[in-house]
Chains A and B, each alone.
Chain A
Amino acid sequence: MLKILSLLLLIVSSKFSCAEKVLRMAVWGGEIPQSIISDFEKTTGIRVYLTTIESNESLIIKLNAAQKNLYDLIAPSNYYISFLKKMGIIQPLDAKKIPELAHLNKRFVDSSQPLYSVPFIYGASGIFYNKQWIKTYPRHWQDLWSQAYLFKLLLLDDTREIFSMALLSQKLSPNSENSQDILQAYQQLLKLVPNIKLFASDAVPRIITDEDANIGIAWNGDVVRAQQENHNIEFIYPDEGYILWSEEFAIIKNSQHTDEAYAFINFILEPKNSAEITKKLHFSVTNECAKDYLTPEIVNNKILFPNQETLQKGILQAPLNPEALKLYNNYWEKFKLSM
C-alpha cells in the first residue's frame, strides 16, 4: 500500500514540477495539428499547454476574471482583436521579430500600426450540398429558405455567421450595426426555422461525410475535409457575398513567456509548418510561401484558395460596437429558443 502511494506521489510531483520553458496557449479546437505541437516541443524544448477556446466571449471573460495570466498566447477570431486591444489584454507585437510577416496574404494582415496580431489561417463560409440527396441545387443564400429543404439544414452554431447569412440574403451588409437591419435579419431567420435540422460548429466534416445533414452553411475547410471521404459534396461561394474570417495570434500583456510565444508564432508561420496545417487539417493558411510545400492539386483547389475574383466578393468579419453586439446576442438567444 505504501509502495503504491509513494509511486503515485512520484508521478504526481513530476506533473507539478515547473518546466523551465513553458507556453500556455488558447486556440480553437482542431486548428493546429498535434504533430506541429510535438515538433515545436522537440525543437525548442518548450512545454506547450493547449486549451481549446469554446467561444470568443468566454475567452474574454476568462482573461478578465483571472487574477494572474491564464495564457501567454491566444488565437481568437480577427474581429475580436480590436476588442482585446481596447481592454488592454494584449500587447503590441514587434514586427521585426516575425520575419514571415512579409509573406502573408495582404488581405488578412492588419495594416494599422502598431501591430497587435498575426493571422495564420483564414476561412470562408459558403453553401454546401450533397449531390446525391439534394435535387434542387442552391445558388444564393436566399435559396436556403426554400420549402424543398424542410428539416434538412445544417447551420453553423455561430451568431455572427448566421446573422451575416441572413443579412446577405436581404442584400444588407453582413457587418451591419443598424438596429433595423438586425431586426430584419432576425425576422428572416425566424422564417428559416422549419428548415433547420441542427446547429453544429464542431464535427461538421463527420456530419457532412456521414450524410447526417446534406445541405447548409459550412466553412470551406470543413467541406474540403468531408470531400476527402465523400465525393458527392459540392461547395459554392454565393455571388452576392460571403463571410471571410481569419484566426490571429496575439500575445497577452505582461506574459512571462513572450519569447516562447514569438518562437511559436514564427514556428507556425514557417512555410513548411503552415503547409502541414493545410495538408492535415485542410485550412487555408495566410502564408503564401506555404504553397511551395503543397501539391498542385491542393494549391489549385478553388474551395481552399479561391481565385482573386471570388476572393473579392468575400467580406471580412468586422468588429461591432457593444450595443450592436448585445442586439445580435439577444436576437440569437431568442432565435435558438424558438425552434
Chain B
Amino acid sequence: MNTKNIFPKIIVSWLLIFSLLPAIMLVGISLLTPDISSMVHLPVTFSHYKNLIDPLFFRIAVRSFFLAGLTTFFCLLLAYPFAFFILNISHKSLVIILILIPFWTSSLIRTYAMVDLLKWHGTINNILLKLHLISTPLSLLYSNYAVLTGLVYNLLPFMILPIYNGMQSIDQKCIDAARDLGATRLQIFVKVFWPQSQKGVINGVLMVLLPAMTLFYIPNILGGAKSILIGNLIQNEFIFLNNWPQGAATSTFLSIILVIFFGISQSKGMKN
C-alpha cells in the first residue's frame, strides 16, 4: 500500500526542501547581520525591519504599490472590454492565439521592444515630430511613464486570459432566464454578467498586481533614477550591495503583503 505513495512523497519532499526551507531561511537571515566575508553572522538584529519603517523605504513601497495599482487599473480597463468583445466573434480561436503568443514569448524581449519606441530618437517621438504635434522630442524613456507603459504592455495578456476564461464559464442559462424575465441588456449586464465575471477579474488582478511589483528588469531597462521599486530594491540588496539580511527582510515584507492580497482575493471569491 505504502509503495504507491512513495513517489509522490519524494516529490513533496523535494518541493518542501526547495520552497518551505528557503522561506524559513529567508526569515531567519533577515534577522542576522551582514558580513563582508561570510554573508551573514550573528548577532540577531531587528535593524533591517526597522529600516523598512524608515520614511525612505516607505516612499519606495508606496511608489511600488501605486505603480502596480495603476498598471492593474489600466490593464483591467483595457482587458475587460476586450474579453467581452471577443466572446462571440467569428475568428475567436485566431484572436486567442494572437493573445497567447505574447504570453508565451520572452517578457524580456518584449520590454526591450519598448526601448526603441520610447527613446529620444525613437518611433513615437519621430511620429509626433513629423505630425508637428511637438517641436522637441519628449523625454519618455527613463521615466515612471516608461515603466508604467512597459508594465501594462507586458502584463496585459495576463489580465485578458483569466478574465476571458472567467467570462466563458458564465452560465448562459442565467442570462437567458433574465432575458425571459424581461430584463434590458443593461440590466442583464449589471445584475448577471458583471457579478459572475468577478472571479475572472480577481484572478486577472492577482496575475498582474504581484508581478508588477517584482518584475525588476522592467524598471531596470525602462526606468530612470526615480523608478526604483521594491523589486529593484531586493535585487540591489542581494546582488550589488550584498546586504542579504536587508534583502531578506524586504522580501519577507513583500511576501506578507502578497499573502494578505491573496487572502483577500480568496475571500472575495468565496463570497461569489
A–B direct touch, CB within 8 Å, in complex?
A: yes
Binding site for B on A (CB under 8 A): 54-55, 57-58, 60-61, 64-65, 87, 151, 155, 196-199, 210-213, 322, 329, 333-334, 336-339
Further pairs besides A58-B239, A61-B242: 12, Cβ < 8 Å: A57-B242, A58-B240, A58-B242, A60-B37, A64-B37, A155-B225, A199-B225, A212-B141, A322-B36, A337-B57, A338-B56, A339-B226
Within 8 A of A (CB), among B206-231: 223-226, 228
Chain A nearest CB, measured from B20 CB (Å): 24
Known pairs A57-B240, A197-B142; A339 contacts B225 (CB<8 A): yes
What A residues does B38 contact at CB under 8 A?
64-65
Q: Is B191 an interface residue (CB 8 A)?
A: no
Known pairs A64-B37, A196-B225; A212 contacts B240 (CB<8 A): no
Q: Is the CB of B228 within 8 A of A339?
A: yes
Q: Is the CB of B225 within 8 A of A197?
A: yes
Chain A nearest CB, measured from B239 CB (Å): 6
Q: Per-residue CB proximity of B233-266 to A under 8 Å, as 1/0?
A: 0001001111000000000000000000000000
21 A-B contact pairs sorted by A residue (CB < 8 Å)? A54-B239, A57-B36, A57-B240, A58-B240, A58-B242, A60-B36, A60-B37, A61-B39, A64-B36, A197-B225, A198-B224, A199-B225, A210-B119, A210-B120, A212-B120, A212-B142, A322-B36, A329-B241, A336-B225, A336-B236, A339-B228
Q: Which residue of B lies closest to A83 (CB)?
A: B36
Which 5 A-B residue pairings sit nearest by Cβ, starting from the closest? A198-B224, A337-B56, A198-B142, A339-B226, A211-B120
Q: Which residue of B lies closest to A152 (CB)?
A: B139
Number of interface residues of B (CB under 8 A): 24
Chain B nearest CB, measured from A66 CB (Å): 12
Q: Per-residue CB proximity of B49-80 to A under 8 Å, as 1/0?
A: 00000001101100000000000000000000
What A residues does B185 contact at CB under 8 A?
none
Work out how many contacts link A and B, with CB atoms closer than 8 A. 63
Known pairs A54-B239, A210-B119, A212-B120; A336 contacts B36 (CB<8 A): no
Within 8 A of A (CB), among B113-142: 119-121, 139, 141-142
Q: Which residue of B lies closest to A337 (CB)?
A: B56
What B residues does A65 contact at CB under 8 A?
38-39
A239 to B22, CA, bound (A): 53
What B residues does A155 contact at CB under 8 A?
225
Chain A nearest CB, measured from B230 CB (Å): 12
What B residues does A210 contact at CB under 8 A?
119-121
Query: Which residue in A57, A61, A329, A334 is a CB contact (below 8 Å) of B56?
Result: A334
Q: Which residue of B lies closest to A63 (CB)?
A: B37
Q: Which residue of B lies closest to A133 (CB)?
A: B136
Chain A nearest CB, measured from B28 CB (Å): 17
Q: Which residue of B lies closest to A55 (CB)?
A: B240
A212 to B242, CA, bound (A): 30
Q: Is the CB of A87 within 8 A of B57?
A: no
A61 to B239, CA, bound (A): 10
A61 to B226, CA, bound (A): 28
What B residues does A64 contact at CB under 8 A?
36-38
A339 to B57, CA, bound (A): 11
Known pairs A65-B39, A211-B121; A337 contacts B225 (CB<8 A): no
Q: Which residue of A lies closest to B224 (CB)?
A: A198
Q: Is the CB of B224 within 8 A of A337?
A: no
Q: Which residue of B lies closest to A60 (CB)?
A: B36
Q: Which residue of A lies closest to B57 (CB)?
A: A337
Q: Which residue of B lies closest to A325 (CB)?
A: B36
Chain A nearest CB, measured from B187 CB (Å): 50
Q: Which residue of A lies closest to B232 (CB)?
A: A336
A55, A58, A61, A65, most chain B CB atoms within 10 A: A61
What B residues does A199 contact at CB under 8 A?
225
Q: Which residue of B lies closest to A65 (CB)?
A: B39
Q: Is the CB of B37 within 8 A of A57?
A: no
Q: Per-residue CB proximity of B192-217 to A under 8 Å, as 1/0?
A: 00000000000000000000000000
